[in-house]
Amino acid sequence: MPEGRNRRWLFEKRSDGPVGPQNFRWTESVIPSPGEGQLLARNLWLSFDPTQVLGLVAPPSEGGYQVGEPMGTFAVSQVVESHIPKFQRGDLVYGASYWEDYSVVDGKGYWDTAKVLPGASPRLAAGMLGITGMVAYFGVVEVGRPRPGETFLVSAAAGGVGSIAVQVAKLLGARVIGIAGGKEKCEWLVGEAHADAAIDHRREDVATRLDALCPKGIDVYFDNVGGPTLDLALERLRPHGRVVLCGTTARYRAEPPLPGPQNYWRLIMVNGRMEGLLGRDYFDRFPEAMTVLKGWLDAGKIRSKEDVVEGLEHAPETLARLYSGANVGKQLLKVADPAPMDPP
Ligand SMILES: NC(=O)c1ccc[n+]([C@@H]2O[C@H](COP(=O)([O-])OP(=O)(O)OC[C@H]3O[C@@H](n4cnc5c(N)ncnc54)[C@H](OP(=O)(O)O)[C@@H]3O)[C@@H](O)[C@H]2O)c1
């Protein structure tokens, strides 16, 4: 049993505006002990996703948090004590965890617990080889399926999922256009991620730029945001075009709820396909995607862009960054470094 205290963020108050520390309560308690079929994990890196606000907005009857519940997350952790045979003390693992230093988990959460790819750092395992990289990889390869020369559009293109989707589509030979908020993001997309063009939705009229950049239309739209951008893409979908529905960041907090897309009828006119993508459905194939992405990374064919905040105490503000658009690349929070551990 490690010595020390367990610092934690518990859900305190439902959100009716921007998310921040006011929605949580910071507590310190004893480090918990794992029981049969459980393990004690020391959290190292936390991953942030726009969907995390859903549990802060919805009432408990609709899946929202109860007051006093620990805030859930995807994390990379180190096993401190294990009563699950396939994990040993010292192992680096990823899976469902909580905003706290130490978590007891049974290995079966929204994300089951699994070992980090050998040779991958905890930071990489939480970033490009974490949920967002997996969703981006399978969303492009299995759902969008771009062919060489096709025009591939990505929204929130300099974010966690978007930054990988752009690069995977480019490696498959597509002509890639990213939509992102701000000069820094757009420069990164063209200069580092090798997108063919970037549209800055904060300074440019997206419709005008799409018409200029895609005079023949769009073959694949990888949608991370929903809302008006989805309508603009549907309006320009080419024959047999595909829309990958990955996320709807524009909708998660919208009040009243945003209406659905107006231009969905275009799917009829172009024999198009709009398909939802749930990353966890590919869980058994994560090692395959991790191996491919890590291979591309090691060969210098792809870049991992992470936006790192340090310190568990900053978790609420870190989540808020996804909604202000402050994050460039995958939003992570570093809690701790792995520690050398004696065998049990
Ligand atoms: N389907 C799945 O299994 C799965 C798994 C993981 C994530 N996702 C989804 O994938 C999407 C991307 O996730 P991520 O973790 O990579 O987040 P992210 O794109 O790194 O961060 C969110 C970005 O969305 C943009 N944004 C913020 N508020 C917005 C609004 N009101 N309207 C439109 N855009 C807004 C901002 O980018 P700009 O400044 O560039 O506009 C912001 O940086 C999310 O919708 C997430 O829920 C889906």
Atom of ligand 1 nearest to the CA of 327: 43
| Residues 197-226 as b or e (16 or more Cβ within 10 Å = b) | bbbbbeeeebeebbeebbeebbbbbbbbbb
Write out the DSSP string of 296-318. HHHTTSS---EEEEE-GGGHHHH
Instruction: Report the separation in Å between the CA atom of 153 and the middle of ligand 1, taken as the mean of its atom positions.
Output: 15
pLDDT attached to residue 4 = 86
pLDDT attached to residue 253 = 85
d(CA 88, CA 174): 43
Atom of ligand 1 nearest to the CA of 253: 31
165 closest CA partner among 341, 332, 334, 330: 330
pLDDT attached to residue 254 = 84
pLDDT attached to residue 167 = 98
pLDDT attached to residue 16 = 82
Atom of ligand 1 nearest to the CA of 179: 40
pLDDT in tens, the chain (344 residues): 667 899 999 999 998 888 999 999 999 999 999 999 999 999 999 999 999 999 999 999 999 999 999 999 999 999 999 999 999 999 999 999 999 999 999 999 889 999 999 999 999 999 999 999 999 999 999 999 999 999 999 999 999 999 999 999 999 999 999 999 999 999 999 999 999 999 999 999 999 999 999 999 999 999 999 999 999 999 999 999 999 999 999 998 888 888 899 999 999 999 999 999 999 999 999 999 999 999 999 999 999 999 999 999 999 999 999 999 999 999 999 999 999 887 66
Ligand 1 atom 33: residue of nearest CA: 250
d(CA 178, CA 176): 7
Ligand 1 atom 42: residue of nearest CA: 325
pLDDT attached to residue 322 = 97
Strand partners, 96: 74
